[in-house]
Amino acid sequence: MTHAGLLAGKAALVTGGASGIGRATALAFAREGARVLVADTDVPEGERVAQEIRAAGGTAAFLRTDVTREAEVAALVKRAVDEFGRLDCAVNNAGITGGGGAVQDLALEAWSRTLAINLTGVFLCLKHELAVMRAQKSGAIVNMSSGAGVIAVPGLAAYCASKHGVLGLTKTAAVENARSGVRVNAILPGSTDTPMLQAAMSTDPKLRKIIESSSPAGRLGRPEEIAEAAVWLCSDRASFVSGESMLVDGGSVAR
């Protein structure tokens, strides 16, 4: 029997698609048959991901997008529809770790920037993706939260607050759209071996110690492992899954 791919024929967009989990997700979606629009602020790396997909025989394009700017998000969703004729899947993955420090020491600028990208950016993407998908009466959206969306990580108050917020936003959108044909879910990755995490650990030895000791699996997750969860949630095999907060963390939160 020929394997057609879990996302064969679907049109998808992935924000934060230039590296880490976003890159792995874009590649996995293409491997499973989706046409992919990659979005990021990193133009060279984003273009490289799209080219990698095309070189492997897939269909992909790149659009520089700052998810904190509504006009750019609206243009991204419009580009997906213009390019592919529709939008079936979206993974709202763009995010930052943000400034560290205890709550009383956290600068307002660092707090505001983290929430603007990690939470408001997800809201803006959802807003414009839902408008298209509701009109189609079908679609699947995955918002990238974190294990820090359900537990505390000392020194990362803004990150934790933003990722907790993503879960509330996801659940509300899922319930609002339960009869629309559109599903909305969240993935909560554990500590994953990405450039963003490596950069954060390199600047804070205490954070590295917390992260390295937090995994019952004894290792960091791989971006490809998170991507597989996104593939399934956006596939028709997850047709009755909406409002879910899926931990993909090797048991870290469960311990």
- Residues annotated as catalytic (active site), given as ranges: 159
* Residue 18 exposure: Cα atoms within 13 Å on the Cβ side: 18
Residue owning tokens 């025989």: 57
* Beta pairing class for 245-248 and 182-189: parallel
The set of residues, in sequence order, having a beta carbon less than 8 Å from that of 89 and lying 6+ positions away, is 7, 10, 11, 12, 13, 29, 34, 139, 140, 141, 142, 234
Answer left, alpha or beta for residue 94, where phi above 0 means left and psi between -120 and 50 means alpha: beta
CB 165 within 8 A of CB 114: no
CA distance 62 to 60: 7
Q: What does the block give as tokens for 54?
A: 């095309």
